Amino acid sequence: MAGALVVIVESTVPMPELAIQCDDAGRFAVGLLDGRFPFRAHAPDARSGEATVERPRDPDIRVTIADGA
Amino acid sequence: MIALRTIDKPSPEAPAFESADVAAPAPPPTPGYDGTATSEVSRSREHLVAVGKSDEAIPAFESVIGTDERVRILDTDLPPWRMICALRMRGPSGAGAIGTGWFIGPKTVLTAGHCVFSNHFFGGWASSIEVIPGLAGPGADRKLRPYGSVTSGRLSSVDRWIDHEDADFDIGCIHLDEAKGEEVGWFALASLPVEELTGYRINVSGYPADRGAGFEQYHAANRALSVTDRRVFYEVDTYGGQSGAPVWVHPTDTAPPLAVGIHAYGIGGTPANLGIVANSAPRIIPEVLEKLKEWVEQDGGWPSG
């Protein structure tokens, strides 16, 4: 979702408490070391969605912000 | 003693500034200032800010630890809240991110190192950062942006962060052309010894992504749970977007805010061997305080008197 803010929560390696902003196509990019990284995305209207990436197993992830979430 | 070197973002206009190595024992605190804007006393300051020390934790915290204790600050046009800024970072690829910063001098804003330089998020230096003091909500209304905003691409950090992304030195600086700090004020900085900082009630306030989408300021307070040589760990609720927020104490009810660290990590950043669940900040140790003074001096310094 365009403008959504994405954060990494409780990862297995230290990650700063920065929030990444999705571009107009709803995409974001972040470089990760090996580990488990739960992502949480927050839409401007306060809805949210979660997905977890495990590096190096997963090449990328899609975080879905569902209606009513 | 650690010798920290400044590393500035390379600029085509000016050669990279490199300061001399510093080995200072215990520099005195830097001056704080409330700014020239309205001197009205903040009710949030009176009712929310934690003062002094405590042996017991204020009930539960989580990065939000347990119950979310964060409280929205509404009077962000008053001190100390107006010294705290929402940051809008932009990387070379156009990638965006949000964080928090705070004034330490008329033209100098302190933040986390990863807000100005991050291989993970920007592939290096941020291109530019918009600094919005006391942001109170989305929109361009003067009430929501009581002090406007300024944008800068003049950034600094220290070699320990640039070369190794060492979490103990996750410290960055934004140099402004405009003396916005004269209006909104700035925090005093202090390097408190481990034994003095331990047990202090810690205040953290910044712009999280989960509440207010980075447009609203939230404050929480709780005790310092553990203090190591270079980090302070605390049971204070924070969230992504609050990176770079001030970590401050008030020795007494009437004492001005005294910044002692730069918030940077949630619970994932706490070493397992400490056996605690806590968020954390690099401490302002003597070597860091000397570096921060250099950065303020580089921007013209504090006014005399």
**How many structural domains comprise chain A?**
1
Each as own residue / partner, the long-range contacts of residues A64-69 (CB below 8 Å, 24 or more positions apart, any chain) are A65/A1, A65/A4, A65/A41
Residue B304 lies in a domain: no
Per-residue pLDDT tens digits for B193-239: 999 999 899 999 999 999 999 999 999 999 899 999 999 999 888 99
- Report chain A's terminal Cα–Cα distance, integer Å: 14
Name the residues of B annotated as catalytic.
114, 243
Are the C-beta atoms of residues B208 and B70 closer than 8 Å to each other? yes
Confidence grade of residue B65 (pLDDT, cut at 50, 70, 90): low
Of B114, B120, B239, the CB nearest to A7: B239
Q: Where in the sequence is the domain holding A14, given as residue range(s)?
A: 5-55
This model of the complex carries an ipTM of 0.91
Residue A61 lies in a domain: no
Report chain B residues whose CB lies below 8 A from the CB of A20.
95-97, 121
For residue B139, the domain's CATH number is 2.40.10.10
Tokens of B278: 């806590």
Report chain A residues whose CB lies below 8 A from the CB of B240.
5, 7-9, 17-19, 40
| Strands B258-262 vs B188-189: parallel, antiparallel or unpaired | parallel
Report chain A residues whose CB lies below 8 A from the CB of B97.
18-21
Residue A67 lies in a domain: no
Q: Where in the sequence is the domain holding B125, given as residue range(s)?
A: 29-35+42-298
Partner B contacted by A13 (CB < 8 A): yes
**How many structural domains comprise chain B?**
1
Residue B1 lies in a domain: no
Contact B265 A14 (CB under 8 A): yes
B71 has a pLDDT exceeding 60:
yes
Residue A63 lies in a domain: no
pLDDT value of residue B3: 85
Q: What is the pTM of this model?
A: 0.90
CA dihedral B144, B39, B80, B135 (to 10 degrees): 10
Residue A43 lies in a domain: yes
B14 has a pLDDT exceeding 70:
no
Residue B103 lies in a domain: yes
Q: Give the whole-angstrom CA distance, residue B153 versus residue B136.
A: 24
Residue A11 lies in a domain: yes
Residue to mutate among B98, B115, B120, B279, with most A CBs inside 10 A, is B120
B129 has a pLDDT exceeding 90:
yes
Per-residue b or e along B159-177, where b marks 16 or more CB atoms closer than 10 Å to that residue's CB: ebbbeebbbbbbbbbbbbe
Of B241, B267, B268, the CB nearest to A19: B241
